[in-house]
């Protein structure tokens, strides 16, 4: 038998080839890419790239005058991983891989494993050493291990860094990661959110894709600074007890010449058959989940963000497009699976593998599915044939809620069930209720402009809608700007219309949302039994004629419960009576008629005593003067 070649710790060896070929090399990003190493007495960069069908690969960069012949790489078998060591390459140097294809053509590709990229419109990768990033969020990371999302508050502020606020002194108007961290922390703490979810952070060439068409999966976008700046932001947010969730896009990638598409001159990362490998509607390529190396690339990438950059969760974009082979396709544009069905069996296997590994290695981290269909057991355990996600976006609730809220109050009585239906399936998955960026773009109107009526009615509708959402079972997510009733649809090209807060109506909505968020965080009844029937109880779900909903949120052991009453019409109900389960005192803790929310400020008693007398099928009740679009929350 031949002797096994000894390899230096940073080099790609037989074991690396084997594990990557099996799809189990979860830290492959520490080997592939460009890493600063010591080779004997020389310091330099060890480059490694997977290009199985390439005839030849070389590293070109500003350190070798982009000369294809200067640094030719050595091919490693059996997978076709090319490597080379180049001494004295400076930090931030630009580079690409020059790949000679099987057709004899030369193509230039950015490094799929690069940690930093040239600012667009440039497309090269940059050398950077991220091994020296220091962290001081140990307390947060330790607590995270024991954190149970089902029993903890989660109110997420979805934010796009480039347009939350524009920087007056930057050519593009971008705050860098550190500046953004300080600003967003102040705002999020004041408002009472528990997490931020950041849109499109991995490197992408086109601002208008919002980061959903990725060319650099292992690189925080250079628009807002370096990977060190990005890490500083996460660390800073953690030290201020704010969780960080990133959008993550394993569904598809763009065709840009420098990206993953036809990486070595053949479909390397994507399915070869265009009926499986292309999204006709999006003009993008679909990852080949049947290839172990591609699954490995994506799973390692998820681990990279969660383990190396301390990110608390990934919201996985466009899950439905991965699960269904015919998603967004007409007859003849897709290929059935081996059983003749439309399920992508390889993508299903990928999700089970992904979630088992990521959550198994990182207790307390989150994997969140943006899945828009009724696919069963998205948050079910892998052992029970589920996909293994922690949480799922409740797109059904979002659709019913927005359809109901758009209605003129006169017609709401005919659609009363739109607001109650979600509770019939609320415990089939672990849900997040979402009003995301997708609901306020592409001529869908901002949240305030979805509301019927004019003036007072619009703002009053939004207030009662937000109260219903915050009281309903499930975690919460709201897109930036909607918390102060942004009038215009969102655009990545401009900052939010913060000047609106000079107007009292917008200040009222912000005050209301702030108090709802703090009420949510303060009261265990609103979150600790989100995934069980014991946590939510309708008092009256059938008051369609008056379009009033009343329900109770229960804490564990019923120590402190909350009663919500929401009136979705402009009719005042001076004689409103609500049924209650006990002969107790009910304390009014939130009243939408308060002056700071734009109400009349009418004086009201704080304590209401329940009296014997059946109402809403309960043995006791009390009367409350319910104003137009009134919301009242009582503690008992």
In a domain? residue 500: no
Q: Which pLDDT value is given to residue 169?
A: 84
* Closest by Cα among 476, 478, 472 to 552: 472
Q: Is residue 43 part of a domain?
A: yes
The answer to whether residue 32 sits within a structural domain is: yes
Domain range for residue 100? 14-126
40-64 pLDDT per residue, tens: 889 999 999 999 999 999 999 999 9
Segment among 167-181, 412-426, 427-441, 489-503 with least mean pLDDT: 167-181
| Mean pLDDT value across the chain | 96
pLDDT digit string, tens, across residues 120-148: 999 999 999 999 899 999 999 999 999 99
Q: Any catalytic annotation for residue 438?
A: no
Question: What is the predicted pLDDT for the residue at 1?
Answer: 43
Token code pair at residue 325: 């082979």
Longest dimension (CA), the chain: 93
Q: How confident is the model at residue 392 (pLDDT cuts 50, 70, 90)?
A: very high
Closest CA to 476 of 549, 556, 536, 530: 530
Is residue 317 annotated as part of the catalytic site, yes or no? yes
> Are 175 and 183 in contact, with CB atoms under 8 Å apart?
yes
Distance CA 196, CA 464 (A): 24
Q: Which of 412, 424, 536, 417 is nearest to 470 (CA)?
A: 536
Is 345 a member of any domain?
A: no
* Within a domain: 330: no
Q: Average pLDDT for residues 51-78, to the nearest whole number?
A: 97
2 pLDDT tier (thresholds 50, 70, 90): very low
Alpha helices in 168-291 (DSSP H): 177-191, 227-239, 274-277
| pLDDT tens digits for range 483-537 | 999 999 999 999 999 999 999 999 999 999 999 999 999 999 999 999 899 999 9
- The answer, yes or no, to whether residue 585 has pLDDT greater than 70, is yes
Q: Please tell me the total count of domains within the chain.
A: 1
Q: Which of 270, 288, 312, 317 is catalytic?
A: 317
Q: Number of H helices and number of E strands within the chain?
A: 13, 30
DSSP 395-457: HHHHHHHHHHHHS-GGGGGGGGGGGTGGGGSTTSS-EEEEE-GGGGSTTS--HHHHS-SSTHH
Question: Strands, DSSP E only, in 243-332?
Answer: 243-248, 252-253, 278-279, 284-286, 313-316
CATH code of 40's domain: 2.60.40.10
Catalytic residue (choose from 137, 158, 370, 429): 370
Residue 87 in any domain: the answer is: yes
The enclosing H or E element of 578 equals strand 577-580
**Is 73 among the domain residues?**
yes
Q: Please report the pLDDT score of residue 3 as a whole number.
A: 53
CB 309 within 8 Å of CB 235 = no
The C-alpha atoms of residue 114 and residue 203 are separated, in whole angstroms, by: 10
CA–CA dist 376, 384 (Å, integer): 11
Picking from 150, 311, 338, the residue whose alpha carbon sits closest to that of residue 231 is: 311
CB of 48 closer than 8 Å to CB of 12: yes
Q: What is the pLDDT of residue 91?
A: 96
- Say whether the peptide bond before residue 78 is cis (omega within 30 degrees of 0): yes
Tell me if 427 is assigned to some domain.
Answer: no
Let me know how long the chain is: 636
Q: Is 515 exposed, middle or buried (0-12, 13-18, 19+ CB in 10 A)?
A: buried
Q: What angle do CA 419, 421, 426 make, to 5 degrees?
A: 110
Least confident interval from 156-165, 204-213, 611-620: 204-213
Residue 291 has pLDDT above 90, yes or no: yes
């Amino acid at each position: 038998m031949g002797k096994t070649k000894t390899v230096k710790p940073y080099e790609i060896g037989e074991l690396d080839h084997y594990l990557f070929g099996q799809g189990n090399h979860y830290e492959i990003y520490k080997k592939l890419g460009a890493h600063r190493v010591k080779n004997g007495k020389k310091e330099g960069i060890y480059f490694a790239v997977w290009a199985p069908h390439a005839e030849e690969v070389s590293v070109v960069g500003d350190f070798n005058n982009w000369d294809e012949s200067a640094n030719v790489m050595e091919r490693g078998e059996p997978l076709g991983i090319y490597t080379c060591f180049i001494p004295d390459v400076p930090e931030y140097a630009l580079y690409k891989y020059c790949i000679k294809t099987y057709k004899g053509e030369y193509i230039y590709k950015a490094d799929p494993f690069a940690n930093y990229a040239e600012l667009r419109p440039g497309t090269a990768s940059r050398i950077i050493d991220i091994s020296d990033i220091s962290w001081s969020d140990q307390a947060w990371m330790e607590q995270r291990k024991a954190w149970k999302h089902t029993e903890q508050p989660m109110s997420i502020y979805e934010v796009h860094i480039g347009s939350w606020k524009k920087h007056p002194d930057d050519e593009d108007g971008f705050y860098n990661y550190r500046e953004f961290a300080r600003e967003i922390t102040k705002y999020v703490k004041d408002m009472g959110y528990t997490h931020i979810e950041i849109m499109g952070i991995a490197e992408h060439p086109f601002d208008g894709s919002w980061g959903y068409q990725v060319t650099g999966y292992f690189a925080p976008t250079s628009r807002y600074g370096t990977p060190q700046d990005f890490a500083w932001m996460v660390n800073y947010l953690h030290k201020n007890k704010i969780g960080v969730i990133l959008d993550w896009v394993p569904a598809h990638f763009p065709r840009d010449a420098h990206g993953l598409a036809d990486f070595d001159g053949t479909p390397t990362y994507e399915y070869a058959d265009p009926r499986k490998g292309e999204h006709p509607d999006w003009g993008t390529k679909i990852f080949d989940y049947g290839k172990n190396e591609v699954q490995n690339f994506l799973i390692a990438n998820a681990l990279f963000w969660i383990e190396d950059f301390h990110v608390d969760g990934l919201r996985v974009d466009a899950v439905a497009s991965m699960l269904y082979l015919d998603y967004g396709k007409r007859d003849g544009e897709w290929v059935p699976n081996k059983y003749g069905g439309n399920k992508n069996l390889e993508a299903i296997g990928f999700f089970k593998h992904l979630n088992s590994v990521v959550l198994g290695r990182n207790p307390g981290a989150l994997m969140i599915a943006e899945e828009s269909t009724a696919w069963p057991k998205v948050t079910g355990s892998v052992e029970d044939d589920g996909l293994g996600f922690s949480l799922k976006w409740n797109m059904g609730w979002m659709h019913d809620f927005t359809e109901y809220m758009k209605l003129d109050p006169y017609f709401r009585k005919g659609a009363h069930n739109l607001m109650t239906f979600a509770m019939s399936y609320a415990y089939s998955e672990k849900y997040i209720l979402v009003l995301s960026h997708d609901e306020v773009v592409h001529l869908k109107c901002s949240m305030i402009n979805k509301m019927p009526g004019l003036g007072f009615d619009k703002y009053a509708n939004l207030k009662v809608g937000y109260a219903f959402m915050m009281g309903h079972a499930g975690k919460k997510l709201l897109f930036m700007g909607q918390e102060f009733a942004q009038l215009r649809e969102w655009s990545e090209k401009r900052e939010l219309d913060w000047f609106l807060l000079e107007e009292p109506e917008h200040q009222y909505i912000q005050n209301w949302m702030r108090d709802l968020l703090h009420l949510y965080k303060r009261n265990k009844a609103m979150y600790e039994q989100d995934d069980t029937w014991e946590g939510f109880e309708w008092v009256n779900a059938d008051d369609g004629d008056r379009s009033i909903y009343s329900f109770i949120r229960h804490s564990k052991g019923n120590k402190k419960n909350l009663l919500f009453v929401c009136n979705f019409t402009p009719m005042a109900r001076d004689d409103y009576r609500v049924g209650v389960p006990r002969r107790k005192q009910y304390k009014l803790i939130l009243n939408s008629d308060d002056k700071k929310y734009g109400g009349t400020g009418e004086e009201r008693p704080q304590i209401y005593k329940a009296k014997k007398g059946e109402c809403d099928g309960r043995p006791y009740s009390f009367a409350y003067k319910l104003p137009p679009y009134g919301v009242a929350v009582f503690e008992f």
